[in-house]
Amino acid sequence: MTKHSVQFGIDTFGDVPTDDDGKLMSYAQAIRQVVDEAVLAEKVGIDAIALGEHHRFEYTISAPDTVLAGIATKTSKITLATGVTVLSSDDPVRVFERFSTLDALSNGRAQVILGRGSFTESFPLFGYDLRDYEVLFEEKVELFSELLKEEPVTWEGTTRAALDKADVFPKTESGHLQTMIGVGGSPQSVIRAARYNFPLMLAIIGGSPDRFVPYVDLYDQATKELGTTRHPIGMHSPGFIADTDEEALRLAWPPYKKSHDRIGKTRGWPPITREQFKHEIANGSLYIGSPETVAKKIARSIKVLGVGRFDLVYGQGPLEASARLRMIELYGTKVIPRVRELLAEKDS
C-alpha cells in the first residue's frame, strides 16, 4: 500500500444539527450547512463527500444529487458521491440522467453509490411493495449496468416498463459514470457487485471491522471466477473527532444516544448505554476521539481489510454545527496525514 493509494472521504445523512444556542436548525439551514461543510472538506484536503438519501424527519437530504449539484458550483476537486442512492425505489433511467447531469456540472466528479438503503420509508412513499425488495434491486442494478454503457438499451423486467433501443441523455463527457455498490452485510450483494463489475463500498456501522474480511475475500473470489475486475474496495463507518478523547466523547455521546434510541424504537433495539457506547469505540466501528486515536483506528482498519478508500460518517444526531465543522477540519489537517504516516510505517 503506497502513501497515496488510499482515498479519504466524509459521509453524511444530513442529520439536522443545532446552532450555537442549542436550537435545531431548519431543514433549509441544515442543507446549506452541508454545502459549507463540503467546501471546507475540499479546502482541508478531503478527497470525497458522500450524501445519503433518507426520507425521515431527522434527516434533511432526500435528494442528494441536488445538494451535490449545489456543492459542485462551489468546489473544484472533491468527488461528489451518494451514500447511498436507494435504487430499489427509484428509476434507473432517471438516476442515470440526474448523475450524468451532475457529472457535467462538476467536470467529471460525480459518483453514484447504489444500494437498498438502511431504512425502508422510500418504498411505500413511492408506491413499492416491500415484498419485492430483492427483485427490485436485482432488476434495477441490471438495467443500470446497461445504461452505463451509454448506448441504446433494450431491456425487459417485471419492475418497470420495458425499453426498446432507448437512448438516454445526457451522455457523460468521459463516457464513464463512476458507480459503486453499497453493501451492508449481504454476501449476495457482494457477488452481485462482482457480477456487474462494480466496486464495493462496505457499510460497517457496528461491531469489529474484522468481521468483514470474509466479504473482501468473497469479492476477490467472485471477481476471479466471473472474470470481472477486482476494483479497490471502500468502507464507511461513523465517527467524530475533537481535540481530545474526552471532548470527543462528551460532545458525541448525547446526540448519538438520541439518534440510536430513536431508530431503535422502530427496530426493537433497547436504549444504548454509555458503557456500550464506549465498548463500540474501543472495539467496534465507532471512530470517536482525538486525531491520534482516530487515525490509529482508521489505519488499522485499512490494513486489515485492504481497502482503498475510507469514508467517515459524521454528524450523527443533533450535533452542534460548529463541532461538525471542527471535526472536518481535524479530519483533513490532522487525521488523514497521520493515517498516511502510519500506513507508510507499516509498509517500510
pLDDT per residue as tens digits for the range 257-273: 999 999 999 888 999 99
| Residue in the block written with cell 445519503 | 52
pLDDT of residue 346 exceeding 90, the answer is: no
pLDDT per residue as tens digits for the range 296-337: 999 999 999 999 999 999 999 999 999 999 999 999 999 999
Residue type for 9, please? G
Going by C-alpha positions, the residue among 90, 26, 95 that lies closest to residue 66 is 95
pLDDT per residue as tens digits for the range 178-221: 999 999 988 999 999 999 999 999 999 999 999 999 999 999 99
Q: Mean pLDDT of all residues in the chain?
A: 96
Rounded CA gap, 228 and 197, in Å? 6
H-helix or E-strand spanning residue 172: none
Name the pairing type of β-strands 200-203 and 178-183. Answer: parallel
Rounded CA gap, 161 and 159, in Å? 7
Phi, psi of 154 (to 5 degrees): -115, 120
Rounded CA gap, 290 and 111, in Å? 30
> Using 50, 70 and 90 to split pLDDT, how confident is the model at 3?
very low
pLDDT at position 273: 97
Rounded CA gap, 132 and 136, in Å? 6
In the chain, what are the domain boundaries? 7-347
pLDDT of residue 177 exceeding 90, the answer is: yes
Rounded CA gap, 270 and 282, in Å? 20
pLDDT of residue 2 exceeding 50, the answer is: no
pLDDT of residue 20 exceeding 60, the answer is: yes
Q: Would you give the DSSP letter of residue 25?
A: P
Rounded CA gap, 144 and 121, in Å? 22
Angle between helices 274-283 and 245-267 (to 10 degrees): 110
pLDDT at position 1: 40
C-alpha dihedral, 94 to 95 to 98 to 99, nearest 10°: -150
Outline where the chain has alpha helix (H).
27-43, 64-72, 92-105, 122-125, 133-147, 187-195, 213-226, 245-267, 274-283, 291-305, 321-330, 336-347
Going by C-alpha positions, the residue among 211, 226, 240 that lies closest to residue 304 is 211
pLDDT of residue 348 exceeding 70, the answer is: no
CB burial string 305-329: b at 16+ within 10 A, e below: bebbbbbbbbbbbbbbbebbbbbbb
Going by C-alpha positions, the residue among 144, 35, 169 that lies closest to residue 86 is 144
pLDDT per residue as tens digits for the range 36-80: 999 999 999 999 999 999 999 999 999 999 999 999 999 999 999
pTM above 0.85, yes or no: yes
Rounded CA gap, 148 and 153, in Å? 10
Give CA angle at 252 (251, 256), nearest 5°: 140
Grouping H, G, I as helix, E, B as strand and the rest as coil, residue 233 is coil
Domain 7-347 has CATH 3.40.228.10: no
> Cell for 93?
433511467
pLDDT per residue as tens digits for the range 222-271: 999 999 999 999 999 999 999 999 999 999 999 999 999 999 998 889 99
